[in-house]
């Protein structure tokens, strides 16, 4: 089988480089185009990264990609992975879809569009059907699939597993989000060192709507939101990679903690059933230690090697006043960023949409 | 008026040094005794601190106290401020009370004892009456008054103001706690740098019980707990001083955000009415910026100079799904530690219990 | 005595705010004008700071200054303190001098100009005479005085004391520089958290020339550089305020460590003799502990209160292979920034140049 | 070829775990024994790590080793890798050598012993001959080989390459050392966050003697020290892994910077010639960017995969006043710890001493 030709948009940014990392030696996809902002046109990726202050992935890049030229965006590839900043991504992604490209994007621009799904393959693979209602799909075969916001992603699979098993009524979530979530240069160091910033623009609103959209359904051409409520408080902490999130859950049923733990540990989704290349064998890992999950230990959870950073880790399961409490941890630029979209494209391929 | 003679217990520790800082040039109290662990006996405070790795307050210490000898605990003073670790404090504090000393302690050992109050003067000054039911009070005049756990303290005054005005049903709180809360040496740096540890031993249990005790009443010789529920998730972040806490509040009434803000800003308690020396003029400060409170800016809130670090700062007041959301910030070793007990002693003095 | 009217240029930046902090309640100077970039014109200082992410000095600002309008630069004031970025400062400062203003600047633009001195009052007060050879001085009474680069400042006084007493041949210096030295937003947090960046643009060149200029003389209308050599390696560490510097010194004489320590401890300069308001009583503090100086303890060294952050701390005096080794510590935006220029203006005033 | 049976001493510590990481799937060695302090005896390694707060290498450990029991030290293995703290290692290591074991140790206890070499295979493989003069060698075949202190290791290969090519007279070095160098719990977080500690016990003395011993010779049963002088200033910075070191070099010859760079880039030693499994293909990597090396990018330098963290990175080559300046970077617990001793054992094996 020859590989499917893919392009990376925003290739010089933090998410773009994570796309490149996830796509190196990918069994199904092969990078054929690198796109970035205009001032990088015609330059080799390796040279552009060399003059930046922050080659985030430095060492991991293979020679072939390092020497590729950054080009004007072409519409010849079958797939475009988009790491373009959300405020710029919208029109470019639309044009590509109109030209017949399948766009898998980390940008938030289209997440709330009528027939554009926010997909986490373990959670809502069926919502992928919505792309058939995007006008471009019938015209050119192009479409847009988004991955969720990084904080929403970090708890979506556990919430989905719990919702299915025990019914979810309310979610109280506070985030301890990593600096890499703001890109580069992102957060000034004087705001980060020895400090916490209790504000991330639009993050709480995203969490309060995206989760309900994802855990809902797509029926009769419309997204029906799930009925539970989310109350989110979001803050930035001086951690490089990996979002930690505290949870208080209000459930319909009252399982024991052992039942809850078994539900999470045993959860498997479409990616696991289909054996998608970037799918972690166990998508939700439950830690039983007193003091886990922690960013330094658990951000990169996930096996096999290709799925490093793609599992979600849950710990400190407790009960209090009829509620359930826990901490969740996930990698914000892998599972919650580029890795999410790569997995979405793998799902599309495995289910014949690509 | 001659000053009241006081002793500091645990004088070489982090809280002990904060006691010394709060008591320097105090208008009512004068340090006459310094006590610490046995190995420091007979040494000058300044010399003991010199051989430690961490003279936390270094520069602020006045000459007279620096040259005082650390002594065996004597029972001659009227007041003992206790910064002894909780696992050691219990018996010592009991003995002192039996000997007629008024003990104001940061240790948790006696917080749940039958007639021992946890006092925050802005919140529950009336519970100070419970000390009259401590057996030692009638025998020798000695008694024990505790200050609350640092995380509970940081939100007690705002919750009290809100409870009085609008009725409080449920509190969902997640903490972003500073490293100094664990004392010295405390948290290993490899656990702290670029990391968050989602566990602080017994902290969540303390928050879920202490707040209800404090916001309740003392009647007929018993503490009656307040009726609202607290669900707490506690985590340690790489911040030196100042606990940040995210809040979701379930209230009986539904004030506007302006009404809520006015309620907090306008709140005054006994310390303000009595003009206690360490009382902040405005005990709850509401910030209207997008991204406050933050440890680096707001931990030391409180005026005048003697009350630095004694105010609580609230910000990001929002509504969501019928709940109210906010972030609160307070200094964990000043208002939430030594400063809390100094203010308690000031209340005792001003109300004739001392 | 009525106060001298002063302006602060670059008032909304980090150094500008430190100028405001140093000038509040100043016994000799009174802020009458605040200048910043064009987009702030006509706005109140407090409002401009409110929309920035980083009100560095937040709490310390007095009401009068907070409500002052930022204006177009006027040339009516007697003194201008300049915190303008070096790449923009040059022409503005020249114009002000031409208009008769005495400019005391933290910018590097004019440091190497023919008759412009780099002044540290403890080190080279006599070089202040060079301003009389600036053409503007005779024409309008205006002139430019610069303070040294922050890293040079941190070791200038100790090197001067040693050079006078024992003769200095070579200085090998490595810096551990604070993040605030890069201003705001400055260093991205992803470069700072858990990292060291071994490069600060032009910093090493500045250290290798400024120290020689300052420790030299001004004779016959020219600066004669001191004869010793400086070899500098500069790096940025994740510290908020305070530059640490390691030193290996090659001296002509071989004093004992006690003699060396006594030379530093006993050193006093013009600011001490003249009793300048912002002068630390003891400009060089020698610490004898194993592990000092450290940023968290020693950056703010200096008494009385107005001179906090204006002393230099030296520690770990050792000998090795005929060389002397030490670590030095100073506050980079106080002594090494705004405070340096304020002290220069005080020197000018006290010596009749103002 | 059957693998050589090895034991890891101090298996539960930070260096011990790095030994386990380096020895997993090792082509020549197989872990047969795990030893630690008495309280761990009889427990499975995975269980001991589970109750500690800091499973440093968590995820990387293979199942077989995780389930091995920690045992009393046996003397049956051919090789013992020692990660025992230096203050305890001495007698144990001596006993093992007396029993016929080849001890490769990270501890400093025996580094200055008469016939005990400090080996870095790229630098002084010939000094391995000294073990034949250890009394145990002829008696039982046992001996002790040490790796250098982590800070010495980080610059030994570059200094050796330069010394051979251009002659080295003096080395002025300042270190920016990582927290992991102090083990776990090691440095308290309150000393680390936002701070630098300019003191590491005995570190400077080690650098000033070990480098001269290693770059010298072993002749007539004695170590002859190299003639150059080292002046070291050592400090701890808030970095997790990877020591950065600033260098000023005084050389006999005056090569161009290009010649110097070529000398370093082209350097190869015995491990490269012998193709040792843990040897980096290129032991010294020269970076030409303005701002490298940095801990986050360069600590793990070294290829192939088994040699990650085993290369030294040099950058910012400059000249100043007849001296050469540079920054060097190396991984302190891999190349500068466990990895160094593993490479030493590989050298011993490849050269027939094992």
ipTM: 0.95
- Asked if residue A326 lies in contact with residue A316, where contact means CB atoms within 8 angstroms, the answer is yes
Percent pLDDT > 70 in chain A is: 96
At C56, is the pLDDT very low, low, confident or very high (cuts 50, 70, 90)?
Answer: low
For residue B87, the distance in angstroms to the closest alpha carbon of chain C comes to 30
Percent pLDDT > 70 in chain B is: 96
Q: Is the pLDDT of residue A194 over 70?
A: yes
- Catalytic sites of A, residue numbers: 150, 243
pLDDT of residue C51: 56
Chain D residues in contact with A61 by the CB 8 A cut-off are: none
Over residues C44-61, the mean pLDDT reads: 63
Q: C-alpha angle B307/B309/B313, rounded to 5°? A: 110
For residue D58, the distance in angstroms to the closest alpha carbon of chain A comes to 7
Q: φ, ψ for residue D211 (rounded to 5)? A: -65, -40
- Asked if residue B139 lies in contact with residue B146, where contact means CB atoms within 8 angstroms, the answer is no
Could you tell me which residues come within 8 angstroms of residue C23 by beta carbon, excluding any fewer than 6 positions away?
A: C6, C8, C29, C30, C31, C81, C342
Find tokens 């792309």 and name the residue.
Answer: A131
Chain B residues in contact with C59 by the CB 8 A cut-off are: 297, 300-301
For residue B132, the distance in angstroms to the closest alpha carbon of chain A comes to 33
B197/A contact by beta carbon, under 8 A:
yes
The string over C68-93, giving b where at least 16 C-beta atoms fall within 10 Å of a residue's C-beta and e elsewhere, is bebbebebebbbbbbbbbbeebbebb
At C233-268, the pLDDT tens digits run 999 999 999 999 999 999 999 999 999 999 999 999
At B37-94, the pLDDT tens digits run 888 888 888 888 765 544 555 555 566 888 888 887 777 899 999 999 888 899 999 9
D237/C contact by beta carbon, under 8 A:
yes
At C116-172, the pLDDT tens digits run 999 999 999 999 999 999 999 999 999 999 999 999 999 999 999 999 999 999 999
pLDDT of residue D67: 83
Q: Kindly determine whether residue A59 and residue D291, on different chains, have CB atoms separated by under 8 Å.
A: no
Chain D residues in contact with B180 by the CB 8 A cut-off are: 190
pLDDT of residue D64: 80
D232/C contact by beta carbon, under 8 A:
yes
What residues in chain D have per-residue pLDDT under 70?
1, 50-63
* Subunits adjacent to chain C (3 or more Cβ pairs under 8 Å): A, B, D
B199/A contact by beta carbon, under 8 A:
yes
What secondary structure does DSSP assign to C335-353, as a single string?
IIIIHHHHHHHHHHHHTT-
Percent pLDDT > 90 in chain C is: 82
Chain A residues in contact with D289 by the CB 8 A cut-off are: 50
A184/D contact by beta carbon, under 8 A:
no
Angstrom distance (rounded) from CA D86 to CA D9: 12
Least confident range from A4-13, A226-235, C275-284: namely: A4-13
D95/A contact by beta carbon, under 8 A:
no
Q: C-alpha angle A202/B171/B107, rounded to 5°? A: 115
Chain A interface test: which of D25, D48, D55, D58 (most A C-beta within 10 Å): D58
SS3 of residue A82 by DSSP:
strand
List the single residue in D with minimal CA-CA distance to B179: D190
Chain C interface test: which of B46, B179, B185, B297 (most C C-beta within 10 Å): B297
Token code pair at residue B321: 């799904």
Could you tell me which residues come within 8 angstroms of residue B1 by beta carbon, excluding any fewer than 6 positions away?
A: B28
Q: Return the HEC string of D146-173.
A: ECCCHHHHHHHHHHHHHHHHHCEEEEEE
Instruction: Tell me the torsion sign for CA atoms A202, A203, A208, A210.
Output: positive
Chain C residues in contact with A185 by the CB 8 A cut-off are: 185, 188, 190
List the single residue in D with minimal CA-CA distance to A189: D194
At B148-176, the pLDDT tens digits run 999 999 999 999 999 999 999 999 999 99
At B246-295, the pLDDT tens digits run 999 999 999 999 999 999 999 999 999 999 999 999 999 999 989 999 99
pLDDT of residue D54: 47
C289/B contact by beta carbon, under 8 A:
yes
Chain C residues in contact with D328 by the CB 8 A cut-off are: none
Chain C residues in contact with A184 by the CB 8 A cut-off are: 188, 190
CA quadruple A250, A256, A257, A263: dihedral, nearest 10: -80
- Marked catalytic residue, from C160, C243, C263, C331: C243
Closest partner CB to C192 (pick from A180, A184, A189): A189
For residue D258, the distance in angstroms to the closest alpha carbon of chain B comes to 38
At D19-41, the pLDDT tens digits run 998 998 899 999 999 998 888 88
What secondary structure does DSSP assign to C24-43, as a single string?
TT-SSEEEEEEE--GGGTTS
SS3 of residue A198 by DSSP:
coil
Q: Kindly determine whether residue D54 and residue B187, on different chains, have CB atoms separated by under 8 Å.
A: no
To the nearest whole number, what is the mean pLDDT of chain C? 93
Q: C-alpha angle A269/A271/A274, rounded to 5°? A: 110
Over residues A212-229, the mean pLDDT reads: 97
Q: Kindly determine whether residue A59 and residue D194, on different chains, have CB atoms separated by under 8 Å.
A: no
List the single residue in A with minimal CA-CA distance to D300: A59
At A101, is the pLDDT very low, low, confident or very high (cuts 50, 70, 90)?
Answer: very high
Over residues C315-329, the mean pLDDT reads: 98
For residue B265, the distance in angstroms to the closest alpha carbon of chain A comes to 20
β-sheet bridge partners, residue D325: D248, D318
β-sheet bridge partners, residue B31: B6
Which chain D residues in 42-61 lie under 8 Å from chain B, judged by CB atoms? 53-54, 56
C321/D contact by beta carbon, under 8 A:
yes
Q: Kindly determine whether residue A297 and residue D194, on different chains, have CB atoms separated by under 8 Å.
A: no
Tell me, yes or no, if B243 is annotated catalytic.
yes
- Marked catalytic residue, from B150, B160, B263, B331: B150
Over residues C181-204, the mean pLDDT reads: 95
Question: In which element (H, E) is residue A169 found?
Answer: strand A168-177
A320/B contact by beta carbon, under 8 A:
yes
First to last CA, chain A: 14
For residue D231, the distance in angstroms to the closest alpha carbon of chain C comes to 6
Closest partner CB to D172 (pick from C172, C230, C296): C172
Angstrom distance (rounded) from CA D65 to CA D45: 7
Q: Which residue has the higher pLDDT, C60 or B38?
A: B38
pLDDT of residue C53: 47
User: Cα–Cα distances in Å, from C121 out to B197, C26, C210?
Assistant: 48, 18, 15
Q: Kindly determine whether residue B320 and residue A232, on different chains, have CB atoms separated by under 8 Å.
A: yes
At A171-191, the pLDDT tens digits run 999 999 999 999 989 999 999
- Asked if residue B304 lies in contact with residue B274, where contact means CB atoms within 8 angstroms, the answer is no
Q: Kindly determine whether residue D327 and residue C198, on different chains, have CB atoms separated by under 8 Å.
A: yes
Closest partner CB to A189 (pick from C53, C56, C179): C179
Over residues B116-135, the mean pLDDT reads: 98
Angstrom distance (rounded) from CA B178 to CA B174: 13
Q: φ, ψ for residue C86 (rounded to 5)? A: -55, -30
Q: φ, ψ for residue C204 (rounded to 5)? A: -65, -40
What secondary structure does DSSP assign to A205-272, as a single string?
HHHHHHHHHHTSEEETTEEE--S-EEEEEEEE-S-SS-EEEEEEEEESS---HHHHHHHHHT---HHH
Q: Kindly determine whether residue D190 and residue B193, on different chains, have CB atoms separated by under 8 Å.
A: no
The highest-confidence range among A63-72, A345-354, D40-49, by mean pLDDT, is A345-354
Q: φ, ψ for residue C177 (rounded to 5)? A: -95, 145
Q: φ, ψ for residue B97 (rounded to 5)? A: -60, -40
Angstrom distance (rounded) from CA C59 to CA C57: 6
pLDDT of residue C184: 87
- Marked catalytic residue, from C150, C160, C234, C263: C150
pLDDT of residue C238: 98
For residue A131, the distance in angstroms to the closest alpha carbon of chain C comes to 37
List the single residue in A with minimal CA-CA distance to D291: A53
Chain B residues in contact with C296 by the CB 8 A cut-off are: 240
Least confident range from B280-284, C9-13, C203-207, D237-241: namely: C9-13
B186/D contact by beta carbon, under 8 A:
yes
Q: Is the pLDDT of residue C103 over 70?
A: yes
* Subunits adjacent to chain A (3 or more Cβ pairs under 8 Å): B, C, D
Over residues A242-258, the mean pLDDT reads: 98
């Amino acid at each position: 089988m020859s590989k499917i030709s893919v392009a990376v948009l925003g290739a010089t940014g933090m998410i773009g480089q994570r796309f490149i990392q996830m796509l190196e030696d990918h069994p199904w996809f092969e990078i054929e185009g690198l796109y970035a902002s205009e001032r990088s046109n015609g330059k080799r990726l390796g040279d552009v990264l060399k003059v930046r202050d922050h080659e985030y992935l430095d060492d991991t890049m293979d020679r072939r990609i390092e020497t590729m030229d950054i080009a004007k965006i072409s519409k010849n590839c079958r797939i475009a992975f988009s790491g373009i900043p959300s405020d710029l991504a919208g029109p470019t992604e639309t044009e590509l879809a109109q030209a017949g490209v399948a766009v898998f994007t980390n940008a938030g621009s289209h997440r709330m569009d009528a027939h554009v799904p926010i997909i986490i393959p373990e959670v809502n693979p069926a919502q992928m059907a919505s792309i058939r209602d995007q006008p471009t799909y019938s015209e050119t075969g192009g479409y847009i699939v988004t991955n969720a916001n990084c904080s929403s992603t970090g708890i979506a699979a556990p919430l989905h597993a719990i919702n299915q098993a025990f019914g979810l009524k309310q979610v109280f979530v506070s985030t301890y989000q990593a600096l890499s979530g703001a890109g580069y240069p992102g957060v000034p160091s004087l705001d980060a060192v020895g400090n916490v910033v209790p504000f991330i623009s639009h993050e709480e609103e995203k969490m309060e709507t995206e989760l309900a959209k994802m855990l809902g359904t797509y029926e009769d051409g419309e997204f029906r939101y799930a009925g539970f409520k989310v109350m989110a408080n979001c803050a930035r902490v001086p951690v490089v990679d990996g979002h930690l999130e505290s949870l208080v859950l209000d459930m319909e049923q009252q399982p024991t903690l052992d039942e809850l733990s078994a539900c999470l540990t045993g959860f498997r989704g479409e990616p696991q059933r289909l054996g998608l290349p970037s799918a972690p064998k166990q998508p939700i890992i439950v830690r039983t230690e007193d003091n886990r999950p922690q960013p330094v230990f658990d951000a990169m959870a996930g096996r096999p090697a290709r799925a490093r950073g793609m599992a979600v880790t849950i710990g400190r399961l407790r009960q209090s006043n009829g509620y359930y409490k826990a901490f969740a941890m996930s990698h914000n630029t892998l599972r919650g960023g580029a890795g999410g979209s790569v997995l979405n494209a793998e799902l599309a391929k495995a289910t014949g949409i690509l």
